[in-house]
């Protein structure tokens, strides 16, 4: 039906080649699915298009196909239209006798079906046929009938043609007053139709412009999507390449760093009882730098595993108090340098289910950063991260830092949830308190 509708639209716009192409596609489709009703309608449309193109033989062939289908499938309204189409084609081919037979049959059937539009055009064509044969007197009755019926259904074009032909017939018969009356009616209706056609043409131009504009916009949108898809593929490839290079570099750096760390520790051990304090300090600095670099590399590897989906959370029960105690023992020295006292507030039942390694790493990062970036004693900062899901988070008020577990998500994009949601109501805190 879409092809048939587009064919009719292009026919109304005067683009007969496009109209014929869509109609032919529609006929093939309806024939394949066995829809004889719409196939009949499409055959009639193709006959009309070929008549507009002056291809009367082809018009007659499609009209005969439509007539055969409408009769075999018993579509009386379509049969009346097909009879008219065949009669019109015979008239264009100057087969006047055959034309009169089909037109008269069309007029009779259309009148029975009360299809006044078909009855009007059938009478109009019969009158034109009599004029073509020189039977001017016989042309008057069908032409006058065509005028009356066309006025009833407000069918303007048949009225115009019928008044024009009536004026011609009366002039030939020397009925000058009647000829003048119909001639004036012809000009009046023609001017009215010209105005309507101008409006129609403007509407068609607007419709064509909108259709072309939408087509250009759709094409532009499609091209943008193609470009975006290509850019996205390129970014994904670069991102993957970056991850691979990062993993390779990190792995390659671990071995020489381990060698440096081992050598610095061995050097520190040998200089333990030495009086060369400068050398001992240098060895310790090398050890600290190597440890920092090892930690950075480990973080890079962990982040890479998370981003590539290679990390696996292995949850098991553990004591939060023991974990926190180990953490505070490791960070205690750095806290004392900034006059920060580390204290814990934990309930008696402190067993949780989590990935111990990942939680320890997260807590170590939180506490070490809190100590590192905390202002001097008796000064505080207020940080309020968004709380969304059960995880480990850090927040502060002036003079107090909190590490808490509960309804929070300080690191949703860095670490997966380390503590199951069913334990989210239990909030445990580790306070890092600034004191003078």
Q: Which two tokens stand for residue 145?
A: 């009938």
At residue 79, the pLDDT reads 94
The pLDDT confidence band at residue 419, using thresholds 50, 70 and 90, is very low
Q: Is residue 270 part of a domain?
A: no
Q: Is residue 323 part of a domain?
A: yes
Residues 208 and 326 in one domain: no
CA 70/CA 126 separation, integer angstroms: 22
432 φ/ψ angles, rounded to the nearest 5 degrees: -110, 105
Q: Is residue 263 part of a domain?
A: no
What CATH number is given to the structural domain containing 18?
1.25.40.10
> Greater confidence, 92 or 407?
92
At residue 415, the pLDDT reads 36
> Greater confidence, 203 or 72?
72
Contact 346, 428 (CB under 8 A): yes
Residues 329 and 194 in one domain: no
Tokens 């115009």 correspond to what residue? Answer: 160
Q: Which two tokens stand for residue 109?
A: 């059937």
Rg (CA), the chain: 47
Instruction: Provide the terminal-to-terminal Cα distance of the chain, rounded to the nearest Å.
Output: 86
pLDDT tens digit sequence for 289-345: 777 777 777 777 777 666 666 667 778 888 877 777 777 777 777 777 777 777 766
Q: Is residue 276 part of a domain?
A: no
Residues 180 and 324 in one domain: no
Domain boundary among 216, 237, 263: 216
Domain boundary among 195, 216, 237: 216
pTM over 0.85: no
341 φ/ψ angles, rounded to the nearest 5 degrees: -100, 130
- C-alpha distances (whole Å) from 419 to each of 320, 345, 393, 404 are 11, 19, 11, 11
Residues 172 and 25 in one domain: yes
Residues 198 and 63 in one domain: yes
At residue 277, the pLDDT reads 74
What CATH number is given to the structural domain containing 321?
3.30.565
What is the CB neighbour count within 10 angstroms for residue 334?
14
Q: Is residue 387 part of a domain?
A: yes
Q: Is residue 402 part of a domain?
A: yes
Q: Is residue 167 part of a domain?
A: yes
Residues 94 and 205 in one domain: yes
Q: Which two tokens stand for residue 377?
A: 């004693």
The C-alpha torsion from 261 through 263 and 266 to 271, rounded to 10°, is -110
Q: State the residue range of the domain holding 407.
A: 316-434
Q: How many C-alpha atoms does 156 have within 13 Å on its Cβ side?
A: 11
Residues 343 and 203 in one domain: no
Q: How many domains does the chain have?
A: 2
Domain boundary among 216, 232, 249: 216
Q: Is residue 288 part of a domain?
A: no
At residue 244, the pLDDT reads 76
Contact 146, 127 (CB under 8 A): yes
């Amino acid at each position: 039906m879409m092809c048939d509708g587009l064919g009719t639209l292009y026919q109304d716009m005067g683009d007969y080649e496009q109209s014929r192409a869509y109609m032919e596609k529609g006929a093939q489709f309806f024939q394949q699915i066995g829809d004889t009703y719409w196939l009949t309608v499409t055959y009639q449309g193709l006959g009309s298009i070929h008549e507009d193109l002056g291809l009367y033989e082809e018009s007659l062939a499609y009209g005969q196909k439509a007539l055969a289908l409408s009769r075999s499938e018993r579509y009386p309204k379509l049969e009346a239209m097909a009879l008219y189409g065949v009669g019109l084609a015979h008239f264009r081919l100057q087969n006047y006798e055959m034309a009169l037979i089909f037109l008269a049959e069309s007029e009779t059937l259309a009148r029975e079906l009360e299809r006044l539009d078909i009855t009007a055009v059938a009478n109009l064509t019969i009158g034109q046929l009599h004029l073509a044969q020189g039977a001017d007197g016989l042309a008057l009755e069908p032409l006058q009938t065509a005028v009356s019926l066309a006025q009833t259904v407000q069918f303007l074009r048949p009225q115009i043609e019928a008044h024009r032909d009536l004026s011609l017939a009366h002039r030939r018969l020397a009925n000058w007053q009647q000829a003048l009356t119909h001639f004036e009616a012809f000009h009046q209706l023609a001017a009215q139709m010209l105005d309507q056609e101008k409006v129609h043409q403007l509407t068609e131009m607007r419709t064509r412009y909108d259709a072309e504009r939408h087509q250009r916009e759709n094409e532009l949108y499609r091209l943008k999507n193609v470009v975006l898809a290509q850019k996205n593929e390129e970014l994904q490839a670069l991102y993957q390449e970056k991850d691979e290079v990062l993993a390779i570099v990190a792995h390659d750096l671990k071995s020489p760093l381990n060698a440096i760390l081992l050598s610095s520790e061995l050097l520190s051990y040998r200089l333990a009882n030495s009086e060369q304090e400068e050398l001992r300090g240098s060895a310790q600095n090398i050890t600290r730098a190597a440890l920092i670099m090892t930690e950075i590399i480990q973080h890079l590897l962990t982040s890479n595993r998370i981003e590539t989906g290679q990390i696996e959370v292995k949850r098991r029960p553990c004591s939060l108090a023991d974990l926190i105690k180990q953490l505070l023992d490791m960070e205690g020295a750095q806290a004392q340098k900034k006059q920060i006292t580390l204290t814990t507030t934990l309930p008696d039942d402190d067993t949780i289910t989590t990935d111990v390694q990942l939680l320890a790493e997260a807590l170590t990062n939180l506490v070490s950063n809190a100590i590192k970036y905390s202002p001097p004693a008796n000064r505080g900062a207020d940080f309020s991260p968004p709380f969304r899901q059960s995880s480990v988070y850090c927040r502060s008020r002036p003079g107090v830092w909190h590490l808490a577990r509960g309804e929070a998500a300080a690191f949703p994009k860095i670490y997966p949830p380390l503590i199951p949601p069913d334990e989210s109501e239990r909030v445990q805190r580790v306070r890092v308190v600034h004191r003078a």
